[in-house]
Structures are given as C-alpha cells and as structure tokens.
C-alpha cells in the first residue's frame, strides 16, 4: 500500500476515512495545532469574521434567490413579497442587505490591520494581492446585488457606474452597450447582474481559499511585525485563537443584530423604496456607503476619463503597495512617522466617504481633491520616501523574549520548530 | 493618544454614515420631529391609531393613492378581525378577471385581494389629475427622508405662500415639499373624518393617525422584528460574556 496515510485518529470511522483521504489530519494541522504568533490583538479577528459573514451572505442569498424574480416588471414587487409574505423573509432579506454593510466594515478593518502592521510586506505580498482581488470581487458583487431590488437608486446607480466605461476612447461606448445587453440599463442587464451576483460569491470562496492557503504557507504577521523565531513565540490555533475569534464573532454579531433588528434601513437610501423609473432621475445619485470614497475620487477630477482612471487606480495601487513601501520594518509600532501618517490616510478615506455623500458643490469639491491627493500621495510619495527620513525604533529580538518577558512554554504547544519560521 | 485617534476616526465614521444624501433644496425646512408609538427599541404600533389611520386612508387618500403592496388580509396586522377584514374587502369593487365574453369585470373584494387602486394605470391617473401622478403609498414612509415626520409635515404644511412666491397653475404651496410646489391640494382639514371611537378629528390628529397607518404599511414586520431583536441581543450579550470568560480561562497560562 504505497503512499497510504498513517492516521493517528482513534475513532475507527474517522481513522478509516483519514487513511484514505487525510482531511482530518489536514484540519488538525491547519486549524488545530497550527502554530500562530502568541501576541495577536483583537484586530486579528477580522479575517475570520469576514469569512463568517461571507457564509451568512451566501446562505441568506440562496433563500432570497428562491423567491426573487429577475425581471424588470416583477423584481421590485418580488422583493416586497419576500418582505411581507415569505415566512421570515424580512429577516433573511435584512440580514442579506445589512450583511453587505457588515462585510465591508469587517473587511475594511481587516485591510487597515494589514496596513498598520505592514502585513503586506515580504513574504506576504501574494497573500496581500489575493486580498485586493477579494476586495475587487466583493465590490463588483455588492454593486450588482444593489441593482437587483430594482429601486430608483438601483437603476440609476447601475446607469452611472456602467456608464463609467464609456469614458474610454473608441472602445468605451461598445463596452457599455455590451455590459447592458442593449442601449440602456434594462431587463437583459438585470438578468445578467442576477446571474453574476449569484456566481461571484463562489468565485470569492475560491480566492478566499487561496488567500488562506497562502497565509498558512507564510504564516501570520503579528502586532510586532517580526518573524516567529522559536516555538515559544507561538500558540496552537486551537483553542487559543478559536476562542479569541469567538469573542470577536459574538461582538460582531451584536453589531450585526442591532442593524438587522433595530435599524435595518439606516445605511440604505430612501430612494430605493421607489420602483425604478427610467424617466425620472433622482435629485442625487449616490452609491451605498462602502463605495462612497471611490465615488468621491471619481468626481474629484473634472475630466471623466481621468476620474475613472483615478477611481480604478485607487484600488489597483494596492496591488503594488508591497513594493511602494520600502521600509524593512513592518509594524507601525516601530515607525514613529508612519504611525502618524497612516491615520492621516485613514482620515482622508473617511473624508472621501463624506465628500462622496454630498453633491460636488462649494467646498466639498476642494475637500474631495485634497483628500484624493493625500490618498494617492500616501502611497506614491510618502511610502517610498519615508524610510530615508524615518528613524525606526529598535525592533524586539523575538515575540516572547523582551516584550512579554519570556514566559514558560504554554500547554499544548507542539515542541517542534515551525516549518516556516 | 491612540485611543484618542481611534475616537476621532469613530466620530468621522459616524458622521459619514449619518450624513443624509443631500438636502434637495436649501430652502426646504427639515420636517419637525413628532412623537411616534413605533419609535425606540421597544416601540410598537399604536393599533387604535393605525386603525383610525386606515379609516383616513380609505375615506380620503385612497381616492387618488394606491397601496399596491398591501392585501386586505394584511389588515390583521393592525388588529382587524377576520370578519372585519371580510367586510372591509367586500365593500370595495376590485378587478375580478374576465367575464364569459372576455371582458374585464369587477367584483367584491376578498381578504386575498390587493388593495383597490383608484386608477387602472398611470395614464388614467395623470389624465384625471392635471398631469400629476399620486405616488403609491405602500412604502411612502421608507421612501422619503424624514419618514413619518415628513408625511405628517406635508399634511400639515399647507400654508399661505409668501407674497413674492410664483405658484404655477394648478399647483399648491406646501412649506415642507421640496421646492414648495406640490400637485396635491390640501387633502385633510379639521373635521373631515368622523372617528367611531370619539377621537377628536383635528388635522394634527388625523395626519398623525394616517402616518402611523402608513408606517405600519411600510414596515409591517416592525413589532415582531423588535421583539425577536431584543431576545437575540440579550442572548448575544450573554454569549459574549460567557465566551470572554472562557477566553480568559484558556489564555490564563499564557499571560
């Protein structure tokens, strides 16, 4: 029996399966014993949280799709039927609708964690880039999902966003017609958006799998941003981080439940309770809150093509972030200037969000431009040049030694060196 | 310092989320806040008010405004009994399919019937109403900034226009309508509807009642939603506490 797996599980059924298909050994290795830096703070919850939200989104979405009608004459009413006549339809729909917001809140914090502690730096560049792909697919999925209820903001949001492609010379207009499946946003558009909105989350699962696989090869970063050196630096994932993630999950679900049950439409737009009307443009077309910063970047430039390029550029620039930031020190804790400037960048992101919610009039225009300028300058000027001026603080020897004052080996830590340390 | 910075970031987030899409016209005042039975964590609909509001809708609003998302059976949600619902439905004529020669006919409604629409289609409505289309009221409370306060403000907002205001022909002046020019003439006046329970039929009372009814129509699940929500929040608070205690215990030997 060449190559058969020698399973150590006592349960005969599990042992039989594990001998032939070592999924239990794999789970044990990747989620049981998996050596994880011992100094995570609660910001390290958010990867697991986003995975839970993705599962909730898919679960609620499947039941919504059973009752939704992707047809322009029926879509709006079918959503109302879900809200009024389907058993607990309101719960499923509000969970899905607010789940999208929760997904972005959680993922934005997860990304911030990566930025603050330099998780994108070598050897985690590919892990980071897969994360950016996830963000892009999430945005596309969320955008198409927002079109499905076929309210005024669905329709006009879809019209504005798809029209962005018309900014490209020559190929622009044919691309828009091709996206629409006609000469305006109409039934073919709704049909294909529904199809893609159902497809993309499963693509997302595939990329998330690669994201996690890459994470398990290079290992997690940690708040000190230094490599794991000895087994004393790590804890087995279970039970230490399963329980810590569970605490975060409970708090996350508390926020989620507050939104669903007490303010389900707080983050929505009243206009989307009006059925789509191609003849009546709302006085102000705004995307959902999580896309507002990019919408502000789009409108910061007086030139349409320039705005579109900047908007896409604002995400695409993240792909090359690992090479723009030339500092060898990962964690902002040991980078006194970066530690301040990352908050300026966060502030510019929030300001862009506020600018995106307002008509581009008066001082909103200037504010939007300044914030856009810093958003890009942070990546293109500050990060590449900063290491020349910044005096980084001394980085500790190891995770366990100087910072935590040593400490004995906790129970359950495998007494073997980490394969990737 | 870090705590301060995260507080500022939090405040900015709150501001970003709470900012309304945009004031449509700078001159339109915000609708004043009213007291509503359905506000707050434990708020539910005042069913007597909602029933009076349904009476106002039936006698006044329904002459022009449809409520297509509602069926007469839904009225159980504001406390009408099965017999009452049957009587309410039977009193209206709704489309009842085709007769033997293939022509559309009307018949008495049943609890399963959609609320009767005053006009067969948009063109018929516009033809009858000086080109204006009265919006469907099924979701009106959710579909306007200001929600129930807005509807209340509109119903009470018919005032004499400023002397220099140019009103278009067939339009009416309303303090709280964006641009102040509204197609709808003042729909409710003191004493217009007589309530069976002896509630005073003043304009503020009637408009408050009808806004309560419309709020129910927009969010009929609200009472059940909050009831479940309170239990779920209590459960999650308990779970958070337990989980945190377990976490402390598991991590005790690490720190």
Let me know: does B90 contact B80? Beta carbons within 8 Å: no
Whole-structure pTM value? 0.90
Predicted local confidence at residue A8, as pLDDT: 87
Predicted local confidence at residue A5, as pLDDT: 75
Q: List all residues of chain B from 7 to 36 with a beta carbon under 8 Å from chain A.
A: 8-9, 12-13, 15-17, 19, 21-22, 24
Of B127, B125, B123, B131, the closest CA to residue B168 belongs to B131
pLDDT in tens, B74-90: 999 999 999 999 999 99
Burial class (CB in 10 A: 0-12, 13-18, 19+), A117: buried
Of A360, A359, A345, the closest CA to residue A314 belongs to A345
Name the CA dihedral angle for A105, A110, A115, A119, rounded to a multiple of 10 degrees.
-170
Q: % helix / strand / coil in chain A, to the nearest 5?
A: 70, 0, 30
Looking up tokens 């300044």 gives A370
A362: left (phi over 0), alpha (psi -120 to 50) or beta: left
SS3 B17: helix
Hey, which residues of A are catalytic here? 216, 220, 244-245, 288
Predicted local confidence at residue B255, as pLDDT: 63
Percentage of residues of chain B with pLDDT beyond 70: 89
Contact call for B254 and A274, based on CB within 8 A? no
Neighboring chain A residues of B143 at a CB cutoff of 8 Å: 270-271, 273-274
Q: List all residues of chain A from 181 to 220 with a beta carbon under 8 Å from chain B.
A: none
Taking each helix axis as running N to C, give the angle between helix A242-262 and helix B222-251, from 0 to 180 degrees, rounded to the nearest 10.
Answer: 160
Looking up tokens 């897969």 gives A130
DSSP symbols for B203-221: HHHHHHHHHHHHHHHH-TT
Predicted local confidence at residue A3, as pLDDT: 63
Element (H, E) at B122: helix B122-128
Predicted local confidence at residue B24, as pLDDT: 40
pLDDT band at B170 (very low <50, low <70, confident <90, very high): confident
Predicted local confidence at residue A6, as pLDDT: 83
What distance in Å separates the CA atoms of residue B253 and residue B248, rounded to the nearest whole number? 9
What distance in Å separates the CA atoms of residue A261 and residue A258, rounded to the nearest whole number? 6
User: What is the 3-class SS of B57-105, one letter each residue?
Assistant: HHHCHHHCCCCCCCEHHHHHHHCCCHHHHHHHHHCCEEEEEECCCCCEE
Contact call for B247 and A258, based on CB within 8 A? no
pLDDT in tens, B20-69: 444 344 478 999 999 999 999 999 999 999 999 999 999 999 999 999 99
Could you check whether the bond before residue A123 is cis, i.e. omega within 30 degrees of 0? yes
Residues linked to residue B20 through DSSP beta bridges, in sequence order: none
Report chain A (421 residues): mean pLDDT per 10 consecutive residues.
75 93 92 93 97 98 97 97 97 98 98 97 96 97 97 96 93 94 96 97 97 95 94 93 97 98 96 95 93 96 94 97 95 96 98 94 94 97 94 90 50 43 37
Per-residue tokens: A157: 């949001």
Let me know: does B138 contact B218? Beta carbons within 8 Å: yes
Of the residues B6, B8, B17, the best mutation for testing chain A's interface (the one with the most A CB atoms within 10 Å of its CB) is B17
Predicted local confidence at residue B222, as pLDDT: 97
Predicted local confidence at residue A402, as pLDDT: 55
Contact call for B9 and A347, based on CB within 8 A? yes
Higher pLDDT, A4 or B199: B199
In sequence order, which ranges of chain B are alpha helices (DSSP H)?
2-18, 47-59, 82-90, 122-128, 147-155, 203-218, 222-251
What distance in Å separates the CA atoms of residue B214 and residue B142, rounded to the nearest whole number? 10
Residue B21 phi, psi (nearest 5): -50, -55
Rg over alpha carbons for chain A, rounded to the nearest Å, is: 24
Whether A83 contacts chain B with CB within 8 A: yes
Instruction: Give whole-number Cα distances, B48 to B79, B103, B209, in Å.
Output: 8, 41, 9
Length of chain A in terms of residues written: 421
For residue B13, the Cα-to-chain-centroid distance in whole angstroms is: 28
Whether A93 contacts chain B with CB within 8 A: no
Q: % helix / strand / coil in chain B, to the nearest 5?
A: 45, 5, 50
Neighboring chain A residues of B12 at a CB cutoff of 8 Å: 347, 350-351, 354
pLDDT of residue B6 exceeding 70, the answer is no
Of A357, A246, A101, the closest CA to residue B20 belongs to A357
pLDDT band at B254 (very low <50, low <70, confident <90, very high): confident
pLDDT in tens, B203-213: 999 999 999 99
Residue A151 phi, psi (nearest 5): -90, 180
Nearest CB to B251 within list A240, A262, A266:
A240
For residue A237, the Cα-to-chain-centroid distance in whole angstroms is: 23
ipTM associated with this complex: 0.88
């Amino acid at each position: 029996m060449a190559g058969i797996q020698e399973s150590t599980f006592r349960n005969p059924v599990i042992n039989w399966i594990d001998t032939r298909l070592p999924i239990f050994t794999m789970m044990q290795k990747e989620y049981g014993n998996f050596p994880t830096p011992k100094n995570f703070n609660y910001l390290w919850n958010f990867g697991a949280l986003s995975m839970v939200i993705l599962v909730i989104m898919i679960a609620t979405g499947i039941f919504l799709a059973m009752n939704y009608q992707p047809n322009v004459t029926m879509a709006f009413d079918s959503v109302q039927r879900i809200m009024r006549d389907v058993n607990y339809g309101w719960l499923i729909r509000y969970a899905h609708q607010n789940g999208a917001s929760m997904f972005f809140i959680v993922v934005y914090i997860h990304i911030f964690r990566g930025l603050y502690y330099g998780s994108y730096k070598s050897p985690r560049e590919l892990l980071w880039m897969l994360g950016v792909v996830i963000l892009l697919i999430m945005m596309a999925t969320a955008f198409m999902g927002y079109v499905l209820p076929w309210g005024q903001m669905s329709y006009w949001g879809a019209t504005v966003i798809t029209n962005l492609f018309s900014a490209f010379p020559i190929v622009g207009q044919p691309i828009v017609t091709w996206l629409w499946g006609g000469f305006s946003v109409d039934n073919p558009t709704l049909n294909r958006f529904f199809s893609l909105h159902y497809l993309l989350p499963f693509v997302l699962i595939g990329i998330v799998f690669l994201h996690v696989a890459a994470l398990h090869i290079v290992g997690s970063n940690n708040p000190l941003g230094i490599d794991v050196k000895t087994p004393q630096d790590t804890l087995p994932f279970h039970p230490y981080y399963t329980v810590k993630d569970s605490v975060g999950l409970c708090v996350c679900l508390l926020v989620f439940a507050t939104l669903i049950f007490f303010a389900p439409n707080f983050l929505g737009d009243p206009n989307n309770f009006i059925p789509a009307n191609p003849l009546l443009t709302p006085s102000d077309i705004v995307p959902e809150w999580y896309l507002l910063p990019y919408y502000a970047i789009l409108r910061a430039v007086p030139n349409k093509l320039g705005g579109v390029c900047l908007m896409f550029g604002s995400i695409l620039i993240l792909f090359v972030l690992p090479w723009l930031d030339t500092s060898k020190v990962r964690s902002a804790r040991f980078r006194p200037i970066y530690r301040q400037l990352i908050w300026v960048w966060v502030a510019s992101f929030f300001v862009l969000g506020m600018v995106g919610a307002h008509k581009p009039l008066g001082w909103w225009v200037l504010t939007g431009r300044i914030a856009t300028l810093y958003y890009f300058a942070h990546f293109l000027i500050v990060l590449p040049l900063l290491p020349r001026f910044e005096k980084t603080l001394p980085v500790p020897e190891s995770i366990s030694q100087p910072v935590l004052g040593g400490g004995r080996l906790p129970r359950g830590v495998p007494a073997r060196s980490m394969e990737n340390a | 310092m870090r705590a301060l910075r995260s507080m500022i970031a939090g405040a900015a987030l709150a501001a970003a989320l709470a900012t309304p899409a945009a004031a449509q016209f700078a001159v339109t005042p915000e609708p004043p806040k009213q007291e509503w039975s359905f506000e707050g964590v434990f708020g539910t609909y005042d069913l007597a008010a909602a029933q009076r509001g349904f009476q106002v809708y039936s006698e006044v609003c329904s002459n022009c405004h449809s409520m297509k998302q509602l069926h007469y059976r839904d009225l159980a949600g504001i406390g009408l009994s099965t017999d009452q619902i049957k009587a309410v439905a039977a009193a209206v004529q709704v489309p009842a399919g085709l007769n033997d020669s293939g022509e559309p006919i009307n018949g008495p409604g049943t609890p399963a019937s959609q609320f009767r629409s005053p006009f067969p289609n948009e063109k018929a409505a516009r033809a009858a109403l000086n080109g204006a289309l009265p919006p469907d009221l099924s979701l009106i409370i959710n579909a306007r900034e200001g929600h129930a306060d807005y509807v209340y403000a509109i119903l009470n907002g018919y005032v004499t226009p400023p002397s220099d205001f140019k009103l278009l022909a067939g339009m009416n002046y309303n303090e709280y309508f964006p641009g102040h020019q509204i197609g709808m003439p003042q729909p409710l006046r003191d004493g217009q509807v007589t309530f069976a329970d002896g509630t005073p039929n003043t304009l503020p009372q009637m408009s408050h009642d009808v806004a309560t009814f419309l709020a129910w129509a927009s969010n009929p699940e609200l009472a059940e939603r909050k009831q479940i929500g309170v239990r779920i929040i209590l459960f999650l608070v308990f779970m958070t506490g337990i989980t945190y205690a377990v976490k402390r215990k598991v991590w005790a030997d690490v720190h």
